[in-house]
Amino acid sequence: DQQVKQNSPSLSVQEGRISILNCDYTNSMFDYFLWYKKYPAEGPTFLISISSIKDKNEDGRFTVFLNKSAKHLSLHIVPSQPGDSAVYFCAASENAGNMLTFGGGTRLMVKP
Amino acid sequence: GAGVSQSPSNKVTEKGKDVELRCDPISGHTALYWYRQSLGQGLEFLIYFQGNSAPDKSGLPSDRFSAERTGGSVSTLTIQRTQQEDSAVYLCASSRDRGTYEQYFGPGTRLTVT
C-alpha cells in the first residue's frame, strides 16, 4: 500500500523551460511534505518543504504547491538548468520527528 | 565535515555473514533515522532514534536486523545472517530534534550480498 506515489518515473525538459514534478498521497494524516533531490552515489539532499496549512512555498527557482483536497503536490523548477538533472523524491510526514514516507522518485533530465 | 557520514561506503559480503553499518549524524542532532533503498525502489524506513532510545522500530524487516545508538551520537545497524534480498543502499539521516521535520541524509552504504 503506497501512501505516497510519483506516477512519472522520468521527465525530460529543455534547459530554460519549466519542470513540473508531481506527487500524490493517500494518508490524510500527513501534515508536512518535503522534496529531496538525489544524484547518483549520493544521499538525498533536502530541497524544499511545505506545511499542510499552506498551499504554496517558494525558494528561488523552486516552488512547491499543495492541493489538500486532491491530495496532490507538485514541484515547479523555473528555469530548469542541466545541473537540476537528478532523481527527485517526494516525502511526507505525519508528525514532526516521525519517519518520512517516500514516493518512488522521478528522474528529471534537463537537456542543454 | 559538517554533514552525516556513513561507513563503509561499499560492502560486499557472502550470504550468511553478519555486517555492521555505521552512521555519524550531524553534531548536535538528537534524532537519527535509518532507511534503505533497494534497486529501483523508493526509500523504505527502518528505525528511528531519539537520543539513545528507539521509539519506532516498525520498519525493521526481520529479527535479523538490529540497531543501536550510543552517547546520543553514533549509530550502528547490524544485519545478521545476511540474505541476498538484503542487498540495498542503506541510508542514515539525522534531524535537529523531535520537533523538526527536515532530515539530512548521509551518502549511504551500498551493501551487496553474494
Partner-chain residue, chosen from A46, A89, A102, that has the shortest CB–CB distance to B102: A46
User: Average pLDDT, stretch B79-99?
Assistant: 95
**How is the beta sheet containing B65-69 ordered, strand by strand?**
B5-7, B19-24, B75-79, B65-69
Percent of chain B predicted with pLDDT > 90: 80
Pick among B30, B103, B109 to test the A interface (most A CBs inside 10 A): B103
List pLDDT tens digits, range A4-53: 999 999 999 999 999 999 999 999 999 999 999 999 989 999 999 999 99
Count other C-beta atoms under 10 Å from residue A78's C-beta. Answer: 13
Kindly indicate the confidence band of residue A95, based on its pLDDT and cuts at 50, 70 and 90.
confident
Of the ranges A61-75, B5-19, B89-103, which one carries the lowest mean pLDDT score? Answer: B89-103
What's the half-sphere exposure (Cβ side, CA atoms, 13 Å) at B25? Answer: 29
- Note whether B42 contacts A99, CB cutoff 8 Å: no
CB contacts under 8 A, A 9-68 vs B, are: 32, 34, 36, 41-46, 49
Work out the minimum CA distance from A112 to partner chain B, whole angstroms.
26
- Is the pLDDT reported for residue B1 higher than 60? no
d(CA A27, CA A3): 6
d(CA A60, CA B63): 45
